[in-house]
């Protein structure tokens, strides 16, 4: 089997894995490795282990919540990590191998490293569905805090969260319970790759977007909306047969609604062009 084949097989295995059992950082490294196929992952995996060990040493025995947050913040600061404010839209910021190389990245990419370091020590940590700026929550018995890895592990209180939400979602936005909802490992990975996909679409690079959607489909084969997205990308590329295949699969699986109706109309137009 080729190196690429082994990576694809590993991602397909993730797609068949229950969410709680997904190795979040390990899978993010495999996703990145598809763009760096000649680069071994051993040193990156060693670095993940080092981050977890350093956080444990920094926290000491039986740390409380504040000590855990401080230990993680100190560890990542010592290793030189920071949010990439200067070149936020750089695709490298969503590539975990390059994030580790450069010690900077997007909020969701840095959060993956924080979640790994916390969970490797048995600490309860989850990603949150906060829009536009990925955050995590750390918990101990009877205590919890929302933490911002992009800003060095700053603990965000409700007032700061409200202001942050308005920055990313508009002045009329208000905090709602769903903004605090935990997200599973698969959704964290989808959010990481969606950053890449959206930037590709904004740049008019439908070929790269289709490639990213293929990766999304590997790790989330049950997300039927990805079939529609794949169909749209292939239609833009002129791959009409492939677009028709993806749209047909979406239509067969989707419930009635605007998205399905639009897909039906597009499929009819594509078939007219093929005939």
Fold observed for domain 3-183: C8orf32 fold (3.10.620)
- Average pLDDT rounded to a whole number, residues 88-112: 97
- Interior angle at CA 194, CA 172 and CA 269, nearest 5: 95
Label residue 170 exposed, middle or buried (CB < 10 Å: 0-12, 13-18, 19+). Answer: exposed
- Given phi > 0 = left and psi -120 to 50 = alpha, else beta, which region is 75? alpha
Decide: 34 and 7 in contact? Cβ < 8 Å. yes
Q: pTM for the complete prediction?
A: 0.94
Task: Report which DSSP code applies to 103.
Answer: T
Average per-residue pLDDT for the chain: 95
Label residue 216 exposed, middle or buried (CB < 10 Å: 0-12, 13-18, 19+). Answer: buried
Written as one string, the DSSP assignment of 115-168 is HHHHHHTT-EEEEE--SSS--EEEEETTEEEEEEGGGTTEEPPHHHHHHHHHHH
Work out whether the CA dihedral 25, 30, 33, 35 comes out positive or negative. negative
Q: How far apart are CA 113 and CA 136, in angstroms?
A: 11
Run of H or E including 86: none
Percent of the chain scoring above 90 in pLDDT = 88
Over residues 231-266, the pLDDT tens digits come to: 999 999 999 999 999 999 999 999 999 999 999 999
Domain residue extents for the chain: 3-183, 224-275
Decide: 245 and 232 in contact? Cβ < 8 Å. no
Over residues 141-193, the pLDDT tens digits come to: 889 999 999 999 999 999 999 998 898 888 888 888 889 899 999 999 999 99
């Amino acid at each position: 089997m080729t190196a690429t084949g082994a990576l694809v097989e590993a991602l397909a295995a993730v797609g068949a894995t229950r969410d709680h059992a997904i190795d979040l950082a390990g899978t993010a490294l495999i996703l990145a490795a598809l763009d760096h196929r000649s680069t071994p992952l051993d040193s990156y995996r060693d670095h993940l282990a080092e981050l977890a060990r350093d956080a444990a040493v920094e926290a000491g025995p039986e740390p409380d919540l504040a000590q855990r947050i401080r230990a993680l913040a100190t560890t990542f600061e010592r290793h030189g990590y920071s949010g990439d404010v200067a070149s936020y839209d750089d695709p490298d910021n969503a590539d975990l191998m390059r994030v580790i190389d450069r010690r900077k990245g997007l909020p969701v990419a840095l959060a993956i490293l924080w979640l790994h370091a916390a969970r490797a020590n048995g600490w309860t940590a989850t990603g949150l569905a906060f829009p536009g700026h990925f955050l995590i929550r750390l918990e101990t018995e009877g205590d919890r805090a929302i933490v911002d890895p992009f800003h060095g592990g700053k603990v965000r209180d409700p007032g700061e969260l409200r202001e942050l939400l308005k920055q990313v979602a508009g002045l009329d936005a208000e905090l709602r319970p769903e903004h605090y909802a935990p997200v599973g490992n698969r959704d964290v990975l989808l959010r990481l790759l969606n950053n890449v996909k959206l930037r590709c679409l904004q740049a008019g690079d439908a070929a790269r977007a289709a490639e990213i959607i293929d990766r999304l489909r590997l790790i989330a084969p049950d997300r039927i909306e990805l079939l529609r997205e794949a169909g749209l990308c292939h239609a833009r590329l002129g791959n009409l047969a492939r677009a028709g295949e993806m749209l047909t699969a979406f239509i067969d699986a989707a419930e009635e609604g605007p998205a399905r109706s639009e897909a039906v109309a597009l499929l009819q137009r594509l078939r007219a062009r093929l005939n």
